[in-house]
Structure 1
Amino acid sequence: MGERVCVLVEDIQEAPVRSRTPAAIAKGLTFEAVELAYGGVPAVRGVNLPVKPGEVLCLLGQSGCGKTSLLRLAAGIERPDRGRILIDGQVVAGEGVFLPPERRGVGLVFQDYALFPHLTNLENVMFGLGGLKRADAEREARLALSRVDLAEVADAYPHELSGGQQQRIALARAMAPRPGILLLDEPFSGLDARLRDQVRADTLAVLREAQATAVVVTHDPEEAMRLADRIALLRRGELVQLGPPAELYRRPVDLGAARFFCELNEMEGFALAGTVETPLGLLPAPAGVADGAVSVAIRPQGIRLGPSTGPGVAGRVLERRFLGELDLVEVIVDGLERPLVVRTRDAGTLRKGDEVRVGTDPGEVLVFAASGA
């Protein structure tokens, strides 16, 4: 895997104005103590998760954490072993109850788009409008294509389009019936980085216009923070933390959650009377941290480097690499088994072997109980 880069909360630039998407009647989605196992192996473990009408919620976590299983449960592709699933307060899956997918009023966008290669793009979008007369279905399908800026390729076939265009066709097909809930399973994972940003922004704009409830599966924390009103972080089938992106980034519940959003400089420490003793000196301890052994994590942008005659702890530059907007600097400090990783815009003339003094930004220091990993 490539090197992780810290992700920061940022404003999203909406796509250019397009034809307005008719508002769906947004529906709430609720998981109550839901459990699911495959062949005796737990995939979802007692998840309680409310999704608010009209919000964009991202299910975030590593492969195998239960994200896609939750999506399949919501869609009706899987039945829960225990617990209930409700849509707008109505039980659609639970003891003695199971509503099939076609009766749930949900739209699906799959990771591989699942477009029919023998149908034109227009016919693909019309596929979900079987309840309408053909003329009405065609009119709605053409409107859906215009909302994703692809009206001009209505008569082409999926294989004639780029990956980003195919993704937008799949989105148009899912949105055409105006579902109250839209479920998207890693819809941008097959796109290259530059195209992914644009398609993601376009998709978010369409979702906002439609006002439908959306649940998006992703393993990419930056993607989740760009898209979501709230993020549900999953680990080994359990819900670890639920909240707005800024809350999960700034106040992770444990060290594992913090690691998911950013590369960290980790070290042992000892908390006492509101401070933490570390190899980098005394650092402030957040409120609520009990005295005793703790795990300390500092984000790379929270390390400050200064001249060797200044304040701070002594260190020596091991490596410096240019990353474009930032420099990555590795620094050796006595008492640490691994070099500190520093990301800075102010590396100046630092070179390998230079002596420096190391300080920290208290706002980028995280402290957890020693068992918090």
Structure 2
Amino acid sequence: MTSAEAEDREPAAEPRWGRRGTAGPAIAVALGFEALSHSYGKIRALDQVSLDVRPGEIVCLLGPSGCGKTTLLRIASGIERPSAGRMLMDGREVAGPSIFVPPEQRGVGLVFQDFALFPHLTNLANVMFGLSALPRAEADKAARLALGRVGLSGHALDYPHALSGGEQQRVALARAIAPRPGVLLMDEPFSGLDSRLRDTIREETLAVMHETRATCIVVTHDPEEAMRMADRIVLMRGGRIVQAGTAAELYRKPVDLAAARFFSDVNEVPGVVRAGKIVTPVGYFAAPGLAEGTRAIAAIRPQAIIPMPAQMCIPGRLLAKRFLGEVEFLEIAVEGLEAPLKARVRSAETLTPGRDLGVDVAASEVLVFAVPEA
């Protein structure tokens, strides 16, 4: 069976996962990154990155391609040696100017974006690969238990090419957790999966991560994925940490306009700060910390736009309406704005494109930032 054929059958034939609570627990390890820098030739991938990860914590490294998140993961695994700075595990230095502990001595489990399964080995042998320190009978038992937890006991003697992409991801996860590592590192583990499967596999993978109690670092470029999985999100840009915190903290209090854009669509409405508020064509909004006369931008989330009767609030005109299932997407022209406001509302059955309407804005969904320097 080809991989394409396997993918075609995946929605109907994806085996159920094993019973929750059966993944073997590990002893979680604290991770410390101190002023880490790393370069690839003239390209500086990491620039003075410092981060502490608590034992058992699930941290998502989030950011666009090229921001340094995968490089940090590779340093954590021991695949890369940092150009400068130190990495510690439970306070013990494993990478630094004069010390480098190889990957096989770090007790780290890895799940790669492309799964990195050996095509010439059975799924059972793939899982046993990281258990070479155990007697064969014990390794076989541990590998079968791990495959059972991900629901693939019946595929132990099959080869990876006979599995769908979702099943291969589960074999990779089983291989990573079988040795009961204190640290589990995952690099874009769900990016190659069909959207129909991604939510289910992510949910079950998260359950396995909680069961193992390992310290987990997950690399992703998807903010919703990070918010659904992480105890703490680390937002990166240009090889540096821009902001770190819970999903609620980063969503509600992004450190700058670029961070706000990363977590949701925003209408960017320019204005000027007067008496502590930004003055815009769609209203006045609090601008804490910005000086009088500062040129600023009101970042208004689409759900903040509230259509009203035409004679009420700010006058506008509905340009377009698209049904998206749970919500409807609107484009509304407002005098004084170059671009139409984009809104997401629960129901817009009574609204007709081309008609006038009123526009109100929920101030709680408005963020104000100084205009970024060019």
**TM exceeding 0.5:** yes
Matches within 5 A, 1:160-239: 160-239=162-241
Deviation at 1:51, TM superposition (A): 1.0
Contact 2:21 2:211 in 1 (8 A): no
Q: Distance in 2 between matches of 1:271 and 1:309?
A: 28
Q: Which amino acid aligns with 2:244?
A: L
**Cα distance in 2, alignment partners of residues 18 and 346 from structure 1:** 39
Picking from 128, 138, 144, the partner of 1:136 is 138
Aligned to 2:13: none
Deviations 1:66-107 (A, max 9, x none): 011001111111111111111111111111111111111111
Are 2:295 and 1:293 aligned? Answer: yes
Count of residues paired in the alignment: 357
Post-superposition offset of 1:283:
2.1
Matched, 1:357 2:342: no
Shift of 1:271: 1.9
Which ranges in structure 2 are unaligned for 5 or more consecutive residues? 1-16
Number of the residue aligned with 1:9? none
Would you say 1:101 and 2:109 are equivalent positions? no
Q: Which residue of 2 aligns with 1:243?
A: 245
Closer, same or farther: CA 372–297 of 1 in aligned 2, 3 Å? farther
Please tell me the residue identity of whatever aligns with 2:156: A
Deviates further, 18-27 or 198-207: 18-27
Secondary structure at the residue paired with 1:343? strand
Which of the numbers 251, 270, 283 marks the counterpart of 2:272? Answer: 270
Quick check: 1:73 aligned with 2:54? no
For 2:7, the equivalent position in structure 1 comes to none
Q: Deviations over 1:152-190 (max 9, x none)?
A: 111111111111110010000010011000110101011
Structure 2 counterpart of 1:170, one-letter code? A
Aligned-residue RMSD, C-alpha: 1.3
Distance (Å, rounded) in 1 between the aligned partners of 2:289 and 2:280:
18
**Structure-2-length-normalised TM-score:** 0.93
Q: Which residue of 2 aligns with 1:333?
A: 334
Q: CA deviation at 1:275?
A: 2.1
| Identity value in percent | 59
Deviation (angstroms), 1:211:
0.3
Whole-angstrom CA distance in 2 between matches of 1:125 and 1:21: 14
Alpha-carbon offset, residue 281 of structure 1? 1.9
Q: Which whole-Å CA distance do the structure 2 matches of 1:97 and 1:320 have between them?
A: 60
Report the 3-state secondary structure (helix = DSSP H, G, I; strand = E; otherwise coil) of the residue aligned with 2:119.
coil
Deviations 1:193-237 (A, max 9, x none): 110001000100000000001100111111111111111000011
* Structure 1 position 274, deviation (Å): 3.0
Partner residue in 1 for 2:284: 282
Equivalent residue for 2:369?
Answer: 368
Q: Which residue of 2 aligns with 1:38?
A: 40
Q: Which amino acid aligns with 1:213?
A: T
Alpha-carbon distance, 1:19 to partner: 4.9
- Give the counterpart letter for 1:117 in structure 2: P
Inter-partner Cα distance in structure 2 for 1:186 and 1:129: 24
Deviations 1:297-346 (A, max 9, x none): 00000111101011x21111110011111100000111111110000013
Secondary structure of 1:68's counterpart equals helix
When residues 140 and 21 of structure 1 are mapped into structure 2, their CA distance, relative to the original with a 3 A threshold, is same
Structure 1 counterpart of 2:343: 342
State whether residues 19 and 149 of structure 2, in contact with CA within 8 Å, keep that contact through their aligned partners in structure 1: no
Is the partner of 1:98 in helix, strand or coil?
Answer: coil
The Cα shift of 1:293 comes to: 1.8
Contact 1:56 1:229 in 2 (8 A): yes
Distance (Å, rounded) in 2 between the aligned partners of 1:19 and 1:59: 26
Given that 1:289 and 1:367 are in contact with CA atoms closer than 8 Å, whether structure 2 keeps it comes out as no
The one-character-per-residue Cα deviations of 1:110-149 (angstroms, maximum 9, x if unpaired) are 1100111111111110000000000000000011111111
